[in-house]
Amino acid sequence: MKSLKRFFCLMVLVNILSINLTVGQQVPDYPVSYRLYTPFVFNPAIAGSKDFSEIDLLFGNYGNSNSQLAGGNFRIAKSRKEYLTSVSVPEFTNFGAGGFIFNDKNDTSRNIGAGLTGSYHLQLDKKALSFLSFGVTVKAIYNDFPGNTDLSKPAEKTFFPNVDAGIYYYTSSYYAGISATNLLGNPNDPDSLGYYTIPASRQIFFNAGYKFVLSRTWNILLEPFLIVNTDFEFSGEVTDWFKPGLKVYAGNFCAGTYFNDFNKISFLLQYRYNKVYVGSYFEMFYNEPFYKQPILAELVFGINLSAVRSGLSRHNHW
């Protein structure tokens, strides 16, 4: 009960402090579902927070926009001697690592980028059930703008570095983190006329969630979560920065929703078979026929690699 009270107190505090937050430009824009499947992309402190290695491939399509993201993260294991009669039980260092590459093409431009992530996990209790982690991602991004003849805007090719940083607290039941992305800002000339802006403004993310066990017999869990996203200028509408969601786990199946846009209905599906899982994410306008507006459709393929090398399977991880 104390843990649950702490979680809700934290949520209330964030809501009070975030009254004027909103969403700005970010890299990558798509796939949207990387926030659900590979959240270390926006908070590097999450890398290595699981007791298994993870590899994900995401593919998205929305109208004329096409995007792909591949990423993975893991906790660095300790080197130890192996004996023929011993059972290999993994031991880990306090360091996590990860990396990702993405390709995001839309009507305006194309962004190609890559990032390398490092994190440090500080154990807070003797049973190793709660941790506080810190992480940094170093990115390199290439933006290709084909130009705009109507506005007499010439083509531009821009290569620029950027940095993300985050803090993350997690236990077996709940988690909360805050991060800042694109800390080096936008490389555009401040004296430009503003016909085109590279989508790389400074962003702040907050994410939190809680896992409720509904049935241990049937392995059913309920996970409400919240993602808050704003730029450093706190511009735009208040409703834009709230992005709540809900996941329901039932054995090898997971379903839920994520309100990335309150003008749309969305749902996600995920199915696991041994260590491999497939998933999907969809968004569509709830007040418009599907044939009048494009549907955002994304697919994900993932592998959870067990840290146990003795042949014992630990595939019961999401």
Give bridge partners of residue 143 from the DSSP assignment: 111, 158
**Residue 312 reports pLDDT greater than 60:** no
- Cα 232 from Cα 15, distance rounded (Å): 17
Residue ranges per domain, the chain?
2-306
Listed in sequence order, the DSSP H helices in 78-157 are none
pLDDT digits (tens, 9 = 90+) for 52-79: 888 999 999 988 889 999 999 999 988 6
Tell me what pLDDT residue 6 has.
Answer: 52
Q: Are 24 and 185 in contact (CB under 8 A)?
A: no
CATH number of 2-306: 2.40.160.40
DSSP annotation of 148: B
The mean pLDDT value for 289-302 works out to: 85
Whole-number Å distance between alpha carbons of 98 and 139? 12
Q: What is the pLDDT of residues 170-195, one digit of tens each?
A: 998 999 999 999 999 888 755 455 56
Dihedral, CA of residue 133, residue 225, residue 164 and residue 240, to nearest 10: -150
Query: What's the half-sphere exposure (Cβ side, CA atoms, 13 Å) at 100?
Result: 33
Average pLDDT of the residues in 115-128 = 94
Distance, in Å, from the CA atom of 272 to the CA atom of 304, rounded to the nearest integer, reads 10
31 contacts 60 by C-beta, under 8 angstroms: yes
pLDDT at 20 exceeding the cut of 80: no
- Whether pLDDT at 315 is above 80: no
pLDDT in tens, 222-232: 999 999 999 88
Q: CA–CA separation, 106 vs 53, rounded Å?
A: 32
